[in-house]
Structure 1
Amino acid sequence: MSFQTTVRYTPLALATLTLSAAPQLYAAQPQAEKLDKLVVTATRTPETISQIPGSVWVIEGETLRTQLDAGADLKTALGKLVPGLDLAPQSRTNYGQNLRGRSVQVLIDGVSMNSSRGLSRQFDSIDPFNIARVEVLSGASSLYGGGATGGIINIITQAPEEGPARFRSQGGVTTGFNNSNDLSYRLAQSVTGGTRTVQGRLSLAYQEEGRHYDANGDEIFPDIAQTDMQDNRSLDVMGNLRIQLSADQTLALMLQRYDSKYEGDRGVYFPHLNDENPDLSDAEIRDGFSADREPATERTLINAQYHHANLLDQDFYLQAYYRKEEAKFQAFPYPSNGSYQFRASKQNTKLSGIKGLFKASLTDTISLTYGLDFDHEEFDATQMSFDTAVSSATGGLKLRESSLVDRYPSYDIDNLAAFAQADWQFTEQLKLSGGIRQRETDVDVDDFKNVPGGSNDYDATLVNASLLYDFNNGQQTWLRYSQGFELPDPAKYYGKSAEVSVSQNPLSAIKTDQVELGWRLMDARWDMQAAIYYAWSDKAVENAEDLTVEVVDEDKRDYGLEAAVTRYFDQGLESGATLHLVRSEQKDADNDWQKRDARYASLSSATAYVGWHDEDRSARLQANHAFDLDDDSDHEIDGYTTFDLTLAQTIGPGRASLGVQNLLDKDYSTVWGQRASMFYSPYYGPAYLYDYKGRGRTYTLSYTLEY
């Protein structure tokens, strides 16, 4: 059981173990304050970190801002701060950004951003200006719905505050000084305030991205497979309201409208589309692009949460939510009858649900949490085809609609789950926990292109058990077993042919089992947490050559180590590192364990940093490293190392920061770009079209004012 690393990176790996690092960078707080910090993600009710038998990482807003001020987006920042979470692609997609080698469920205030149709846009969902903190639970979880086989990332939004109106303003610019096209800027404004019984917050965040350039100063090709953020405009409008109904009752309401879309005129020009034997070689980026369907993510989210602290002598929580999402994709060149036809899909999701939960203290040492979850999901998609004569004559720069058809089968999914979780404080130091979740899923698939639809029912029983030992000196250790459930993408499985019908070939669900042994220490000088884990399932999801989904009856396993350490010194100095070593394997036809296909497997990664701060200024230098990865089919992903620098200074009533991302101007291909080349080439064209490059050195200057 050797991990996939490379000898030349051993010094960095050793440094990450002996230095210290920092996902839960709280600053040098007293030990009791750190351990008594309340989080909700691991247990679904507020619980202190010291009472959680599992790896929980809390990314406070200030810590997140150190990454954002260097020019990172949300998924990139989390990839550098959370051990176990893969380093992020720089595209719009977060495909392959797994947690502990498996899929991650992303929530906003407890509302899932995941859908049964795996769009991989969960982080294209909120502006970081509206984030208070991020809570991460590593590993499979039976307390939440599908998609949490690798863990859960719960984004907690900014809460309204009591008192007179308070304002927060933020502005920033990012550039690599290549030319005027690479300038990006962002503006954000919020106001919050209220009485003791009613508080509100209203915010607006706007961001405009320019073009991106690699370390050689070359413009980066657009991600024609999954779309990217070049020439993208995003607007996040959010309103939060909190009402104290009585001494025991509160109601929290949240409404969000998020729009993120391409609004540029730069596109890929293919000079040989009109040749007698057309091909996609010699492509270049030019002005003059326009299409009748362009990339976008549009989302409306409504969330209501009610809490009664003493209903039938129990804590009661009720949540109702609605999410409507529209995702549009880049026009993509498909081989068609000796030429290339450009097509672009639009995929629509509606998700509504309700969750009810009671927490009861049965005795002084035993508590019980139980409840019901229900959600209803609707999905449909269309594909727009563009006029081949127009696109060929313009090299793909002008795309005019010629037809509109269904892209995937439409479907409805109903999920109903009941759960119960018991905690027993067996002794002052030893806590035992166990739980069960019974899930019922109904899938109704419509007819699609002469392939009949139908219905399928699934049921899954998920259990968890753990023990937590508290040494009463800032240290805890735990042993945990848990299960997670995942339903592979029905849209990309059904409708392929009459042989893959709903009734004759039902889609198989996948259950993941995981064991974990962990330890943490939190005191005034150290924040340390480490866990070894082993996760396994008897099925795996793969993509066919045409990118449809296949479920293969082959055992799959992921195992590894995730660790983070932070060391606080005197005079505001601190240093740290994170480390994730992971290996993914799958059994072959001969029942032998083989390295999992590099298109799906996670890369090991590490970060290391040194920082300093006082009341008025701060500085942070950080190294980020992705290890090499290869599989048994000679697929390879080349790792890379980049450095980031962030400086901040109090100026007047606000805070100014200067960030430099990719400080040494490293030339590299992103992990997603290397995977995309494997997925799409040569069937859909030459590899260079899909090799999405990493961005070169960029500078970000921002200013935040609170008044």
Structure 2
Amino acid sequence: MRRSLLLSIILLYTQILLAQTGNLKGYIKDTNGEPISYATVKINPGKSIMAATDGSFSFSALNSSEYTLTVSAVGFQSQELQINLGEGISRELVVTLLPTKNSLLNEVIITSRKKEQLKEEFTTAVTVVNSATMQELQAVNNNFSDILSSAVPGLGVSSGTSSNWGQTLRGRQILILVDGVSQSTPLRNGSVDMRTIDAGVIERIEVIKGANSIYGNGASGGIINYITRSNKTSDSRFAGKTDLSFSGGVVNPKGSIGGRLSQSIYGNLGKFDYTVSGSYEQTGKVRDAEGDILGPTYGLSNNQVYNTFSKLGYQINPDQRVQLSYNFFRSLEETNLQEVMGSRKNGAKTYGIEGSTPGSPPGTRWNHNAMAMYTNDKLAGKTSLSVNAYVQDFNTLFFYSTNFENGGQSIIQSSKKGIRADFNTPLLAAKKLSADLTYGLDLLSDVTSQPLLDGRIWVPKMNMLSTAPFMQVQSRLFKDLVFNGGIRYERMNIGVEDYETLKPYNAVTKTFGTSVSVKGGEIDYENLVFNSGLRYNRFNFFRPYVNFSQGFSVADLGLLLRAARVDDINKIQTEPVIINHYETGFESEFKAFRFEVSAYVSKSELGSSFVEQNGFYVIVRQPERVHGFEVSADVNLSSKINLGSSYSYVEGKRDGNNNNKFNDETDTFLGGDRITPPKYTAYLKYVPNSKFLVRADFLASSSRNRFPLTNTGVYKTYEGKVDPYQVINLSSSYRFKKSTYLKLGVENLLNADYFPARSLWPSLDQYYVKGRGMSFTLGISTQF
């Protein structure tokens, strides 16, 4: 009876406490009434923090008290409000943020695998292309390769094509993600992963630079994560946005006009929220500064692009949520252009004319992404949980090539299925010392191959199963000193069936070699990689950091298999590439000025480089060293004028005699497929009022000349001399109604006549194509 009485008292007391608590809910908007995504909301006392990814926030079970609410977002001034909650009172408010002069502090990063993490807590260089910048750059060009080239220091210049081959990050391989799901095919890297989703469904892009193992195999240079649009939270149960644009060339507009239509709808039905969108784009003929059609290899002329996207969410309660998302992307190049082959040696460009190309339309035939996510923010011990189950099916067809005997087209096929489980548990919450632990498990099945369209096997099917537990600790001492450290254990098994290599093509003699029958088997990898770093945030004008991190890559196993000259895969040098990445840098902010510097060295005891030897293409496995630095600055001259600039430099070598030195005669520079020329960028943005915006972007690629000419007067493949060039782009928008914009973008405003770096370093006539000439995009966007 005493126990029953005690239980009754406890229940009654609990009900009284619950009755005394209140809830706080709100929406974050700009001066135009638009939701601001990825804001940071803090509430004190209690020091709770949350990321308002969809422009809304809520705090439940708040005791009767006076609270300080602080709301901040990139590009906006922080706002602090005093909230007084009485017993059992719930409040709902709208917080309107004004444009800011400070855009670095309190920026929320979600790619870290932690529930939320501020940029000031990272001990490595991070770049975020926010929603506003995305929209401004998309007004000029909808190609991710071009958008990222302008916005991300350390990333190579754009190829101007549908392929990102050679557009490395800090001289190493990039892992491209969509909401944390890999779009890359590390087992056989086809370098078409940047353009596998429509830019119109992307809210923002997060770039974590340097080798890391946050998402496993393939991120030896860093991670680029496309964050899809969140479900819009508004007072409306049904809202939408329509975008319509036309584009074309200016010098010779004949046949160059294309168009794009995108429609999205979204809403909030109580606990249920949704976003659904679809887009279609038809490009015209893309022309250079002289008005000639660009060569059709990896071309962007006459492309048909389809994309559908949906995201459905259900908020079970304030702490639990279920979300389903799906995206389909297709981009195919019509085969109604014929290639007129130029000569790199004689300086004659390759261009296109009306005609036909053998084979089927090349491009991404399909890219399916589906994900189910469950989150719970209140497990035992204040632990939060995020579980993602996903599938990705990718199929891309490459252009017709005579480098195969009797000609042919290759296909990269990749099918991934995986589960990610992330836990985050606070360890300490003392006034002078705090720490939390992020840990979890990645399970991934990846089946990748590269056959020819006619059924011949070029790269056999590689069936990989990976299991990878990981753990990451973050701690703060006296609030200002941040420590990050973690480990990841990667265990892989890759099965390969028996296969026969195709006859290799000799680029010098224009003949074919002999094929080899190779016995298959299983390849096992077990690797433990770790990272650690320190950052000191005491002063805004100087926030230094140091970092060491490791990355793991299977070194494009498909290339090794297809180039095999032995009869057993056990005789192929399939050891992984382990990257040791050392970095130091600092961030500085003073009033309206921001400055960032980072310098790095990355080493691998066993690298992997594709080179030409005696006319054949082979893989060289030698130690590698890559180093470089990046500098960027931004300043708000006034509330109406913003400007900024950046400079990126990278260089790399192979250790030919394995003596751990890189200045001997036997040491060689890495080719253009790995190392990009120095890059300069600058921008100027003018916003005279709430209706009008204009932005100018300057991009310059410097020269690189590290290799000698051969006795035939040409460079070896990947060793071509790169000449400098400069391009200026212009974007503008005008709001003539509350929710309707008119947009105009001009690419290559001065009609510069140039060869992109990608056209020069391959030293192949087929790629010797000029850059896009002056072109325009005119569009209208309206919301309802």
Change beyond 3 A, Cα 1:574–1:333: same
Q: Is the 8 A contact 1:294 1:331 kept in 2?
A: no
Q: Within 2, Cα distance between the matches of 1:69 and 1:121?
A: 22
Matches within 5 A, 1:531-680: 531-545=598-612, 550-589=618-657, 591=659, 592=664, 593-613=667-687, 614-634=689-709, 635-652=720-737, 653-676=739-762, 678=763
Tell me which of 304, 310, 333 is aligned to 1:239. Answer: 310
Q: Confirm or deny that 1:359 pairs with 2:424.
A: yes
2:425 aligns to what SS in structure 1? strand
1:310 aligns to what SS in structure 2? coil
Instruction: Give CA-to-partner distance per residue, 1:383-426, whole Å, 9 cap, x none.
Output: 14xxxxxxxxxxxxxxxxxx532232111011111111112212
Q: CA deviation at 1:135?
A: 0.8
Q: Within 2, Cα distance between the matches of 1:319 and 1:290?
A: 43
1:180 aligns to what SS in structure 2? coil
Q: Within 2, Cα distance between the matches of 1:672 and 1:293?
A: 25
Q: Within 2, Cα distance between the matches of 1:379 and 1:139?
A: 26
Q: Confirm or deny that 1:448 pairs with 2:513.
A: no
Alignment-derived partner of residue 275 in structure 2: 201
Alignment-derived partner of residue 406 in structure 1: 457
Q: CA deviation at 1:287?
A: 3.3
Instruction: Give CA-to-partner distance per residue, 1:159-205, whole Å, 9 cap, x none.
Output: 11233211111111111131331112111110000223110000011
The one-letter code sitting in structure 2 at the alignment partner of 1:531 is S
Alignment-derived partner of residue 167 in structure 1: 240
Q: Is the 8 A contact 2:640 2:686 kept in 1?
A: yes
Q: CA deviation at 1:382?
A: 2.6
Tell me which of 118, 126, 129 is aligned to 1:59. Answer: 129
Q: Within 2, Cα distance between the matches of 1:185 and 1:268?
A: 24
Q: CA deviation at 1:82?
A: 0.6
Tell me which of 133, 138, 141 is aligned to 1:68. Answer: 138
Q: Within 2, Cα distance between the matches of 1:283 and 1:561?
A: 34
Tell me which of 61, 67, 80 is aligned to 2:150. Answer: 80
Unaligned runs of 5+ in 2: 1-72, 78-98, 343-347, 501-516, 710-719
Q: CA deviation at 1:263?
A: 2.8
Q: Within 1, Cα distance between the matches of 2:111 and 2:101?
A: 21
Instruction: Give CA-to-partner distance per residue, 1:199-223, whole Å, 9 cap, x none.
Output: 0000011111111111111221111
1:482 aligns to what SS in structure 2? strand
1:71 aligns to what SS in structure 2? coil
Q: Is the 8 A contact 1:25 1:63 kept in 2?
A: no
Q: Is the 8 A contact 2:140 2:730 kept in 1?
A: yes
Larger mean Cα displacement after TM superposition, 300-309 or 547-556:
547-556
The one-letter code sitting in structure 1 at the alignment partner of 2:637 is F
Q: CA deviation at 1:49?
A: 1.6
Q: Within 1, Cα distance between the matches of 2:337 and 2:620?
A: 41
Alignment-derived partner of residue 92 in structure 1: 162
Tell me which of 428, 437, 443 is aligned to 2:488. Answer: 437
Instruction: Give CA-to-partner distance per residue, 1:534-584, whole Å, 9 cap, x none.
Output: 111122222254998755342211211112211012241111101112222
Larger mean Cα displacement after TM superposition, 418-427 or 281-290:
281-290
Q: CA deviation at 1:32?
A: 8.3
Q: Within 2, Cα distance between the matches of 1:703 and 1:282?
A: 36
The one-letter code sitting in structure 2 at the alignment partner of 1:576 is G
Q: Confirm or deny that 1:121 pairs with 2:192.
A: yes
2:293 aligns to what SS in structure 1? coil
Q: CA deviation at 1:468?
A: 1.2
2:452 aligns to what SS in structure 1? strand
Q: Within 1, Cα distance between the matches of 2:358 and 2:584?
A: 52
Change beyond 3 A, Cα 1:706–1:548: farther
1:212 aligns to what SS in structure 2? coil
Q: CA deviation at 1:283?
A: 8.2
Change beyond 3 A, Cα 1:500–1:114: farther
Matches within 5 A, 1:124-139: 124-139=195-210
The one-letter code sitting in structure 1 at the alignment partner of 2:158 is A
Larger mean Cα displacement after TM superposition, 567-576 or 625-634:
625-634
Matches within 5 A, 1:24-39: 26=75, 29-30=99-100, 34-39=104-109
Instruction: Return the index of the structure with the highest Cα Rg.
Output: 2
Change beyond 3 A, Cα 1:442–1:603: same
Alignment-derived partner of residue 775 in structure 2: 698
Q: Within 2, Cα distance between the matches of 1:464 and 1:107?
A: 21
- Superposition RMSD on alpha carbons, in Å? 2.4
Alignment-derived partner of residue 389 in structure 2: 320
Q: Within 1, Cα distance between the matches of 2:581 and 2:213?
A: 11
Larger mean Cα displacement after TM superposition, 258-267 or 436-445:
258-267
1:672 aligns to what SS in structure 2? helix
Tell me which of 251, 255, 261 is aligned to 2:322. Answer: 251
Q: Is the 8 A contact 2:634 2:644 kept in 1?
A: yes
Q: Within 2, Cα distance between the matches of 1:87 and 1:369?
A: 35
TM-score, structure 1 length as denominator?
A: 0.86
Q: Confirm or deny that 1:42 pairs with 2:122.
A: no
2:455 aligns to what SS in structure 1? strand
Q: Is the 8 A contact 2:436 2:475 kept in 1?
A: yes
The one-letter code sitting in structure 2 at the alignment partner of 1:696 is G
TM-score, structure 2 length as denominator?
A: 0.78
The one-letter code sitting in structure 1 at the alignment partner of 2:419 is I
Instruction: Give CA-to-partner distance per residue, 1:125-178, whole Å, 9 cap, x none.
Output: 111110101111111112221111111111000011233211111111111131
2:543 aligns to what SS in structure 1? strand
The one-letter code sitting in structure 2 at the alignment partner of 1:692 is V
Change beyond 3 A, Cα 1:522–1:27: farther
1:318 aligns to what SS in structure 2? strand
Change beyond 3 A, Cα 1:284–1:30: closer
Q: Is the 8 A contact 2:164 2:194 kept in 1?
A: yes
Q: Within 2, Cα distance between the matches of 1:123 and 1:36?
A: 28
Q: Within 2, Cα distance between the matches of 1:131 and 1:75?
A: 14
Q: Is the 8 A contact 1:267 1:289 kept in 2?
A: yes
Tell me which of 265, 276, 285 is aligned to 1:211. Answer: 285
Q: Is the 8 A contact 1:307 1:315 kept in 2?
A: yes
Instruction: Give CA-to-partner distance per residue, 1:223-281, whole Å, 9 cap, x none.
Output: 1xxx222111111100001111122111121111111112352223689xxxxxxxxx9
Q: CA deviation at 1:121?
A: 1.1
Q: Percent identity?
A: 23
Larger mean Cα displacement after TM superposition, 651-660 or 360-369:
651-660
The one-letter code sitting in structure 1 at the alignment partner of 2:75 is Y
Unaligned runs of 5+ in 1: 1-23, 272-280, 385-402, 682-686
Change beyond 3 A, Cα 1:523–1:253: farther
Tell me which of 289, 303, 326 is aligned to 2:371. Answer: 303
Q: Is the 8 A contact 2:350 2:769 kept in 1?
A: no
Q: CA deviation at 1:288?
A: 4.1
Q: Within 2, Cα distance between the matches of 1:618 and 1:131?
A: 21
Alignment-derived partner of residue 9 in structure 1: none
Q: Is the 8 A contact 2:369 2:393 kept in 1?
A: yes
Q: Is the 8 A contact 1:72 1:661 kept in 2?
A: no
Q: CA deviation at 1:36?
A: 2.0
Q: Is the 8 A contact 1:643 1:664 kept in 2?
A: yes
Q: Within 2, Cα distance between the matches of 1:50 and 1:244?
A: 30
1:62 aligns to what SS in structure 2? helix
Q: Within 2, Cα distance between the matches of 1:284 and 1:528?
A: 42
Q: CA deviation at 1:629?
A: 0.8
Larger mean Cα displacement after TM superposition, 49-58 or 73-82:
49-58
